[in-house]
Amino acid sequence: MLEHLPEDIRLGLAQARRAAVQRGHRLNLQVGDGVIPLNRLWEDGFALQADRAPGLRGLVDIYDGPAHVSQCLIVASALEGDEMIYEFKRITNAITGPVRDYAEDAAPVAGLLARDI
């Protein structure tokens, strides 16, 4: 259906779609000192605008706004339209609490019943 529209209208629609994606997501990728907004994120990878990060690979951090979500080792996979698809070689979720040097009990005691002696 879009192929019947004039070229300038198709380009305007594509720009509006990209702008809506960038406004709607808080997820971003931090590489060194640079921050790049993510278009999509799924279990095995993510997608970015192809012109935003040419030749991106290696260790990156994913943030949801100011919250650190995960650290990933990535490799470029494919170019689909104006998006570059990246796959995870390794993904490690960020730790939200302090690291413990002991194992926690599986089920903590909820309460004790008193015995009548």
What is the DSSP code string of 72-97? EEEEEEEEETTEEEEEEEEEEEPP-S
pLDDT tens, residue by residue, 32-67: 888 888 888 899 999 988 888 777 888 999 998 888
Q: How far is Cα of residue 49 from the mean position of the Cα atoms in its chain?
A: 13
pLDDT tens, residue by residue, 85-94: 999 999 998 8
64 membership: H or E segment, kind and range? strand 58-64
Domains within the chain, CATH numbers bracketed: 26-93 (2.40.10.430)
pLDDT of residue 55: 79
Rounded distance, CA 96 to CA 29, Å?
18
